[in-house]
Chain A
Amino acid sequence: MTEYAAIIPLLIVALAGASAMLAEAFRQPGERMPIAGLGLIGLVGAAIASVFLWDTDRSSFGVIRADNFSLFINLTLCVIGVLTMLFSNEVVEREHLPPGEYYALTLFAICGMMMMAAATDLLVVFVALEILSLAVYVLTGVRRASVTGAEAAFKYFLLGSFSSAFFLYGVAFLFAVAGSTRLEQISVALSAQGAAGPPTLAILGVGLLAVGFAFKVSAVPFHMWTPDAYEGAPTIVTAFMSTGVKAAAFGAFVRVFLSPLEPLQAQWVPVLAVIAALTMIVGTVIGVVQTNIKRMLAYSSIAHAGYLLLGIVAANSAGKAAILFYLLSYAVSNLGALGIVALLGTPENEHDELRDFAGLKDSRPGLAALMTVFLLSLGGFPPLAGFIGKWYIFSAAVQEGHYWLAIIGVLTSVVSVFFYLRIVVMMWMTEGPEVHRPRVPATAIAGLALATIAVFYMGVLPTRLLQLALESISTIF
């Protein structure tokens, strides 16, 4: 029985997903059913299970490990899931999304994400990657009537499966080198290489894996799908996938690159450094000219992937812990911001153009204020979560002497402030037409309150979480 301990959180989420599907089967057409509640229960359950597993370092079947690192990501994913559920309740109904499919797919995706961050075998990483990807592809196109949605889903699917193939090919090469897909055996095989240097096969394998991960975290030059997918998907799905997929993919990225592939650091660090720099620059510079908020936040999420990559390039314990902290701070800030966009949308008007936000301060001052807080946090202003995250990532880079990357990082974050402020300017400093704004239900208010408290808590009193992040990485690396 103890074999199963490490996968309990995954099982709970999967169970919640299955019951969401069942509930949909029993739902009369037109009947309202609190399916989001099922999801909430499952996610809270998974979070509690993760807390109980803390410090136990269980492993299931030798391929999934519930060490503190994966549990920290589990908890981040639970936060992401809970916020998504709280925002979805109203949005799904308003936009006539099929509730059963929507919630079930979201929960299955979370299950895949948890698995991906916890997997210690490259094949299991791949399986998890597929679980979450398939769910997210479908979610992107869940508005079947929408042309842009279908285009986005198709594009995402094609490019995504392409990248999965790269990933799988990389796994094959590493298998050829190490004779196993288990991370610890790859680690042993690679560190056993003598003075002759690493074999070409290993380098090829690492390169292909990097391509696969870079696709998933939307790093330049593998970011092309991101703006289209984020814009075409329903806003709430954009919010979910921009944070969840990133958390899971970075979890696996760190686990694969920073312990077994460490012997090849001399080979991959310069490459990732260049990718990180490009990602930060392209993400912010192109973000500046966007007029669609979802597209803008898509480019912002590319830029944030660049900052996160700095943590991997730094490859020190500060970098790993910073990634964990950053993922959480990015998740609450970005979910908050996109959640507000989603809540303001109606079936007729998605409310995702910059000008739709004109004069929001008059019609919805509270939402305008919260949106400002989330955007400032994304921009990295103190005393908000995003500032501490950026500071931690940049100090990890500076510790390793990557001054140039840190300087590019801070300068691009100034550029990014420019486009976040464009939304703020619209909300506070531009008069807008009187438009009908949909009501904001209590569940969504609870979600926003949660995100706001998290943003301030992580900005003002980050000590406890920073320590947790440090503890999380000390157990495995």
Chain B
Amino acid sequence: MLLSLIIFLPLAGALLCLGAGGRGDRPERAALVRNLALLTALATFAATLYLWWQFDSTSAAFQFEEKHAWMPDFGIQYYLGVDGISLLLIVLTGFLTPIALLSSWESVEKNVKAFSFFILALESAMLGVFVSLDLFLFYVFWDAMLIPMYFLIGIWGYERRIYAAVKFILYTMAGSVLMLIAIIALAVAHSSTNGSPSFNLLDLYGLNLSHTFQWWAFLAFAVAFAIKVPLFPFHTWLPDAHVEAPTAGSIILAGVLLKMGTYGLLRFAFPLFPDAALYFAPWLATLAVIGIIYGALVAMVQPDMKKLVAYSSVSHLGVVVLGLCALNMQGVQGSVMQMLNHGVSTGGLFMIVGMLSDRRHTRLISEYGGLKAVTPKLVAAFLIITLASIALPFTNGFVGEFLILLGAFRWNPKFAAFAATGVILSAVYMLWMFQRVNYGPVRNPHNRGLMDLSPREWAMVVPIVAMSIFMGVLPNVFLQPMEASVDRIIDRIVDRRPVQVQVVTPAERAAAAVGGSQ
């Protein structure tokens, strides 16, 4: 019941907001609606924390399972469950939604009711994606998620919002419909071996699929997820969507939506089609590395802060995909950790950019300069988040990137070497941007007398900064719950690799070990 509650609590709150908003766009009720939405989001966050508290992190199995027949003739179930990987992403979603709502507290004025509705509906769909263990149910949430995001960009975005919104929805949908065909084909494959179709993920894990089938189905899944990540060269929707989205949309887009791509690869594409995954891993990793360097280089020359952060996401998510492709403990654990880190720090960066653009109504770096003297507290928060984003030790980013590079090195040192240059480049573009915005004299008269952090902004900044440091200092709090689950997924993929080595008996292995040590 707990999982259903977590998924549908935001939706219930969303409907409540619609009701409380009354007919039409009534500004006098905006405050009520805002508070209701925030309350719902906080309650959902509390519920996700309770979930974590109740979670048994020693077990690799899915927990809090809920299984109800939905369309029994077709093997479709309402089947939910969490393991260590989805657990943390659920908590991240719960954590970022209240911050997203707070970030638009003042900047969104028109139709607050609909805005709150879409944010909360989006949260429901995102949580649904992370807990679904039935592929059909997963696809329902996956596709349903596009609609609220489309409206968030299209209604409350900046100048080119309609173009960005339509591009976002068509691009992502084009990728995911092919996955739908692959999902159907999987169910049909299940019915030809077991007599009845099934969309249950655990049933489908057990299928023995032919090479060709795996190949095509993996491609269909991988394209859907690669667009979401977004992996180079499927990333072109992202800068548009990010730049045009309102701050809240950007926070959620960067913080949670992009993680669905990497989560999907790890949960669905890799373990369902292990042979294809091993075959394609170097290719995906190559694209990831290209993305790391390309994203960093393009980010460097952006005049617009939001676009810069958007391209930095392409680069950072490339690192995450590289870690997944390594398919070893360090790499995958680092990836999941980095998903969380990126959610916190890039979400934080978008939040800061949003604060600046609320004050000055521009996001151009050249319009700023010398903010340190004007808004010291905001700049301090900006600095910490920037450092977290470039992975300074003792911030969250360091742990994730270090593990990923370690894992990648163990797999293929070349990839690690190239990826490391991306890490260096990220320091270049982030610090350069930070310097141009915050240091030097205040040249632009508009920048004089800007407000420093308001109490509402403190409420957003403190959790993000605290998490950035907390996750960097005590990463084990986050690494430990996912360990068993990550281990199991890697086992599933790597163990089912076609046998390449001779079977070695324990006695022979011992002999070899003795021989090796001499």
Q: Are B143 and A387 in contact (CB under 8 A)?
A: yes
Binds A, one of B40-48, B175-183, B305-313: B175-183
> B74 to chain A: which residues have CB within 8 Å?
395, 466
Q: Are B73 and A466 in contact (CB under 8 A)?
A: yes
Q: Are B181 and A410 in contact (CB under 8 A)?
A: yes
Does B473 make an interface contact (CB < 8 A)? Answer: no
Does B174 make an interface contact (CB < 8 A)? Answer: yes
A362–B111 CA distance with the chains assembled, in angstroms: 10
A387–B137 CA distance with the chains assembled, in angstroms: 12
- Give the dominant DSSP class at B's interface: helix
Q: Are B154 and A425 in contact (CB under 8 A)?
A: yes
Interface size class of A (residues with CB under 8 A): 20 to 34
One of B72, B169, B177, B185 near A411 (C-beta < 8 A): B177
A259–B188 CA distance with the chains assembled, in angstroms: 24
Q: Separation in Å of the B4 CB from the closest CB of chain A?
A: 14
Please name 12 pairs of A and B residues whose Cβ atoms are closer than 8 Å in the assembled complex, sorted by A.
Answer: A362-B25, A376-B147, A382-B139, A382-B140, A382-B144, A383-B144, A391-B180, A398-B188, A407-B181, A410-B177, A417-B169, A430-B162
Residues A414 and B174 in contact in the complex (CB < 8 Å), given A394-B181, A462-B71: yes
The residues of A with any CB-CB pair to B shorter than 8 Å are 361-362, 365-366, 376, 381-383, 387, 391, 394-395, 398-399, 403, 406-407, 410-411, 413-414, 417-418, 421, 425, 428-430, 462-463, 466-467, 470
> B177 to chain A: which residues have CB within 8 Å?
410-411, 413-414
Does B242 make an interface contact (CB < 8 A)? Answer: no
Q: Separation in Å of the B24 CB from the closest CB of chain A?
A: 6
Q: Are A406 and B181 in contact (CB under 8 A)?
A: yes
Interface string of B112-145 (1 = CB under 8 A from A): 0000000000000000000000001001110110
Closest partner residue, chain A, to B220 (CB atom): A407
A407–B141 CA distance with the chains assembled, in angstroms: 21
Does B166 make an interface contact (CB < 8 A)? Answer: yes
A96–B359 CA distance with the chains assembled, in angstroms: 56
Residues A425 and B166 in contact in the complex (CB < 8 Å), given A391-B180, A407-B178: yes
Residues A421 and B174 in contact in the complex (CB < 8 Å), given A382-B139, A467-B73: no
Does B108 make an interface contact (CB < 8 A)? Answer: no
Residues A410 and B169 in contact in the complex (CB < 8 Å), given A383-B140, A429-B155: no
Q: Are A403 and B162 in contact (CB under 8 A)?
A: no
Q: Are B73 and A418 in contact (CB under 8 A)?
A: no
Q: Are B71 and A466 in contact (CB under 8 A)?
A: yes
Interface string of B137-161 (1 = CB under 8 A from A): 0011101101100110011000001
Q: Separation in Å of the B266 CB from the closest CB of chain A?
A: 23
Does B465 make an interface contact (CB < 8 A)? Answer: no
Q: Separation in Å of the B178 CB from the closest CB of chain A?
A: 7
Interface size on B, residues (CB 8 A): 37
Q: Separation in Å of the A45 CB from the closest CB of chain B?
A: 32
Q: Are A398 and B185 in contact (CB under 8 A)?
A: yes
> B70 to chain A: which residues have CB within 8 Å?
463
> A382 to chain B: which residues have CB within 8 Å?
139-141, 143-144
Does B510 make an interface contact (CB < 8 A)? Answer: no
A330–B351 CA distance with the chains assembled, in angstroms: 43
The residues of B with any CB-CB pair to A shorter than 8 Å are 23-25, 70-74, 111, 136, 139-141, 143-144, 146-147, 150-151, 154-155, 161-162, 165-166, 169-170, 173-174, 177-178, 180-181, 184-185, 187-188
Q: Are A414 and B154 in contact (CB under 8 A)?
A: no
Q: Separation in Å of the B189 CB from the closest CB of chain A?
A: 10
A399–B140 CA distance with the chains assembled, in angstroms: 21
Q: Are A428 and B155 in contact (CB under 8 A)?
A: yes
Most buried by B among A391, A418, A430: A391
Could you list 5 further interchain pairs (A-B, Cβ under 8 angstroms) beyond the known A381-B143, A429-B165? A395-B188, A398-B185, A414-B173, A421-B169, A425-B165
Closest partner residue, chain B, to A388 (CB atom): B71
Q: Are A414 and B170 in contact (CB under 8 A)?
A: yes
Q: Are A428 and B151 in contact (CB under 8 A)?
A: yes
> B173 to chain A: which residues have CB within 8 Å?
414, 417
> B188 to chain A: which residues have CB within 8 Å?
395, 398-399
One of A387, A394, A413, A418 near B140 (C-beta < 8 A): A387
Residues A425 and B162 in contact in the complex (CB < 8 Å), given A391-B184, A395-B187, A395-B188: yes
A192–B451 CA distance with the chains assembled, in angstroms: 89
Closest partner residue, chain B, to A428 (CB atom): B155
Q: Are B184 and A394 in contact (CB under 8 A)?
A: yes
A421–B177 CA distance with the chains assembled, in angstroms: 17
Most buried by B among A376, A406, A429: A429
Q: Are B178 and A395 in contact (CB under 8 A)?
A: no
Closest partner residue, chain A, to B180 (CB atom): A410
Q: Are B180 and A394 in contact (CB under 8 A)?
A: yes
> A418 to chain B: which residues have CB within 8 Å?
166, 170
Closest partner residue, chain B, to A363 (CB atom): B24
A462–B78 CA distance with the chains assembled, in angstroms: 13
> A410 to chain B: which residues have CB within 8 Å?
177-178, 180-181
> A391 to chain B: which residues have CB within 8 Å?
136, 180, 184
> A466 to chain B: which residues have CB within 8 Å?
71, 73-74
Closest 9 CB pairs of A and B: A410-B177, A382-B140, A395-B184, A398-B184, A429-B154, A414-B174, A463-B71, A382-B144, A414-B173
Q: Separation in Å of the A101 CB from the closest CB of chain B?
A: 38
Closest partner residue, chain B, to A364 (CB atom): B24
Q: Are A403 and B181 in contact (CB under 8 A)?
A: yes
Q: Are B161 and A429 in contact (CB under 8 A)?
A: yes
Q: Separation in Å of the A354 CB from the closest CB of chain B?
A: 13
> A467 to chain B: which residues have CB within 8 Å?
73
